[in-house]
């Protein structure tokens, strides 16, 4: 199994915190090897194509932006 790089883009708002929590819970539920990075630098958002936060990128590809999916939905995205 290869390690997944998970990046949560946001400024630290409550939705960003919730996306981080849900992402971690989904990855742990799937027993993934993962690195979770919180990206708070607004200039980095545009570099990754993120226009609306919170956002989640998996291995460099943005998979969700502007909302907080449930743990189950995130598990489907990560699985």
- Taking residues 11-21, what's their average pLDDT? 96
Which two tokens mark 72?
């189950």
pTM of the complete model:
0.94
| Residue recorded with tokens 């990206």 | 39
The residues annotated with a catalytic role in the active site are: 13, 16
The 10s digit of each residue's pLDDT in 30-58 is 999 999 999 999 999 999 999 999 999 99
Look at residue 1 and tell me whether its pLDDT is greater than 70: no
For the chain, domains (ranges, CATH) are 4-78 (3.40.30.10)
The predicted pLDDT at position 16 comes to 96
Cβ(23)–Cβ(70) below 8 Å: no
The predicted pLDDT at position 71 comes to 98
């Amino acid at each position: 199994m290869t390690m997944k790089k998970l990046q949560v883009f946001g400024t630290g708002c409550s939705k960003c915190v919730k996306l981080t929590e849900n992402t971690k819970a989904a990855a742990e539920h799937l027993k993934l090897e993962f690195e979770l990075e919180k990206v708070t630098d607004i200039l980095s958002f545009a570099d990754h194509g993120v226009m609306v936060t919170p956002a989640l990128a998996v291995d460099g590809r943005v998979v969700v932006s502007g909302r907080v999916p449930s743990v189950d939905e995130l598990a489907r995205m990560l699985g």
